[in-house]
Amino acid sequence: MELIRNKAIFIALIVLAILPVVSLFPTGLPITHDGQDHVARIANFYQNLSEGNIIPRWAGNLNWGYGHPILEFLYPLPSYIASLFHFIGFSLVDSIKIVFGLGMTLSFFFMYLWLSQFSSRYASLLGAVLYAYAPYRFVELYVRGDIGENLAFAFIPLVLFFIYRIYKDKNTNNIFLGGFSLAFLILSHNAISLMFVPFILAYCVYLIWLSKFNKYLILNTLFLILVGFSLSAFFWIPGLFEGKYTLRNIVTKGTYASSFVAFKNLIYGQWNYGITGQFTVQFGLFQWISLILSPAVFIKFKKNKEKSYLLLILIAFTVAAIFLMLPISNFIWERIILLQNFQFPWRFLAIVVFSTSVLGALLIDAVPDKFKAKLTILSIIIILAISSFYWKPKGYLHKSESFYTGIYYSTTDTGESAPIWSVRFMEKLPNASLEVIDGDAIVKEIERKSTYHKYRLVVNKPTLFRENTLYFPGWEIKANGEPLKVEFQNMTYRGVMLFNLSKGNYIVEAIYKETKLRLLADVISLVSLGNILGGLFLLFLFKKYKIHNNV
């Protein structure tokens, strides 16, 4: 009987993980707010990789061909994964859809995996269903088309799983795997990872307290966090400190004020594919039931320290997330600039999706054993019936691959990543890659890559040139190997690179390099990865030696 039950749970897991992503199977790109732009970004990302840029930061074909630094500030993990699938033969669109599908299915499995460490299989199953089938998850998948947020949901429970395993046993692998999971979360989405870091830290403190401040647990959770942040340093350090060179704070300032939600809309909102203020921000029926009944569940588990204190943490984070989505929290948003970078208060639905899923699992655990299976099955059937209307996009887009790989007439963002000395968006194609503004010269383009442009120039008299690429720290121009002075704040040609040459013949190169800060961040990540791989190898050799010598 137990074997049959386990098989039934396994089959249920597979079916329930696949159902939400079935609408990704038809040909074409689901029509979403950001889907098309994500394909264009990843096309530029893949082009960088194919040219040997292991850490892509510059999108050369975006912004009408003037290029854009968005890749430096855009979560890179979805692009790396999509690029891998594109490399092995999938189209760009299919590669994107695979990443969307992985985000949804892995979040389901990883939530079940984490919950199963301290909950019954039925509670874990319902918690995973609540996590994957929350209305907001389908908004992410089929309305907004946010590939980063969707993928980040997979790594939140995985990080918590490895932290819990460190609490339960002393297997060193959990530390490194947890560190990689945290790095993947950070690399999946800036805002979501920042939003969940406080919960992850609170979870660590909670387990440390349960362990009666065990030194092993303290040191190893700190090491896990260090590994996660150091592995992802190549992304978050430049993203954090070089944001001052962009329009980020200007563009995002005040955006939040028009994106607060009414409390009644958190309870129910009709499904639609509209923009902010139109798509539903409802929690979901069973999410509300889980939250409302959580005080009763707390009373049920008040003698169980592990579950009762977890309940308190979850309730606290849920209430805080709800508060930050409502207009009443405006005074906090006004004072915290970092909070404004989230742009939309409804983004805190991510916290609610997670917390109410765990609360739902704990609710099932509080039910007498004889009712667990029936209540779980009934709940899942109702959830499937309600959410089945959300499992599809409003249509599919069919465009050729060249549409995404060629010059793209957009920055793919709202201008927040544009250099602060440039215009927010370019509006037309340049006449040429390198133009003569004043003087007399013959220009021949020899080579053009994302981060390297090469020209042969015959200059007949002193000439002012315009390299039609936006300037951003890291760009430099050389003539016959010698660096030139570059002007990029000319009010007539805002943001693009201007330079002068006297009479003569030149080989001119425009090169995008790593700044000192980016190079430092790269080294931190590389050294961290090398130390981890080296440590694991030495650990493997040590274990092999012990086995061979029966130590």
Which range has the worst mean pLDDT, 168-172, 207-211, 313-317, 384-388?
168-172
What pLDDT, on the 0 to 100 scale, is given for residue 2?
Answer: 47
- What residues form DSSP beta bridges with 489? none
What is d(CA 473, CA 291) in angstroms, rounded to the nearest whole number?
A: 48
What pLDDT, on the 0 to 100 scale, is given for residue 141?
Answer: 97
Percentage, residues of the chain above pLDDT 90? 87
The pLDDT tens digits for 509-548 are 999 999 999 999 999 999 999 998 887 777 777 666 666 6
What pLDDT, on the 0 to 100 scale, is given for residue 4?
Answer: 45
What pLDDT, on the 0 to 100 scale, is given for residue 497?
Answer: 97
| The dihedral sign for the CA sequence 362, 367, 372, 374 | negative
What is d(CA 497, CA 489) in angstroms, rounded to the nearest whole number?
A: 8
Percentage, residues of the chain above pLDDT 70? 97
What are the two backbone dihedrals, phi and then psi, of residue 444, each rounded to the nearest 5 degrees? -130, 125
What is d(CA 295, CA 312) in angstroms, rounded to the nearest whole number?
A: 9
| Arithmetic mean of pLDDT, 377-393 | 95
pLDDT of 297 strictly over 70:
yes
Q: Residue 542 is encoded by which pair of tokens?
A: 């040590």
The pLDDT tens digits for 212-270 are 999 999 999 999 999 999 999 999 999 999 999 999 888 888 889 989 999 999 999 99
pLDDT of 375 strictly over 60:
yes
| Arithmetic mean of pLDDT, 153-168 | 97
Buried b (16+ CB within 10 A) or exposed e, 91-103: bbbbbbbbbbbbb
What pLDDT, on the 0 to 100 scale, is given for residue 5?
Answer: 59
487: helix, coil or strand?
strand
Provide the pairing of β-strand 396-397 with 434-448.
unpaired
Compute how many other C-beta atoms are within 10 angstroms of the C-beta atom of residue 162: 23
**What confidence category does residue 1 fall into, taking pLDDT thresholds of 50, 70 and 90?**
very low
Q: Residue 423: left if φ>0, alpha if ψ -120 to 50, beta else—which one?
A: beta
**What confidence category does residue 357 fall into, taking pLDDT thresholds of 50, 70 and 90?**
very high
| The dihedral sign for the CA sequence 33, 36, 38, 40 | negative
What pLDDT, on the 0 to 100 scale, is given for residue 549?
Answer: 63
What is d(CA 329, CA 307) in angstroms, rounded to the nearest whole number?
A: 30
pLDDT of 462 strictly over 50:
yes
What pLDDT, on the 0 to 100 scale, is given for residue 107?
Answer: 97
**What confidence category does residue 490 fall into, taking pLDDT thresholds of 50, 70 and 90?**
very high
User: Please, are residues 261 and 267 in contact by the beta-carbon 8 Å criterion?
Assistant: no
What is d(CA 147, CA 96) in angstroms, rounded to the nearest whole number?
A: 8
The pLDDT tens digits for 415-452 are 899 999 999 999 999 999 999 999 999 999 999 999 99
Q: What angle do CA 119, 361, 354 make, to 5 degrees?
A: 115
User: Please, are residues 239 and 73 in contact by the beta-carbon 8 Å criterion?
Assistant: yes
| Secondary structure of 12-74 as H, E, C letters | HHHHHHHHHHHHHCCCCEECCCCHHHHHHHHHHHHHHHHCCCCCCCCECCCHHHCCECHHHHC
| Arithmetic mean of pLDDT, 27-53 | 97
What is d(CA 101, CA 79) in angstroms, rounded to the nearest whole number?
A: 14
- Average pLDDT value for the chain: 94
What is the value of pTM for the model shown?
0.95
Residues in Cβ contact with 543 at an 8 Å cutoff, skipping those fewer than 6 apart:
none
pLDDT of 486 strictly over 80:
yes
pLDDT of 3 strictly over 70:
no
What is d(CA 30, CA 145) in angstroms, rounded to the nearest whole number?
A: 8
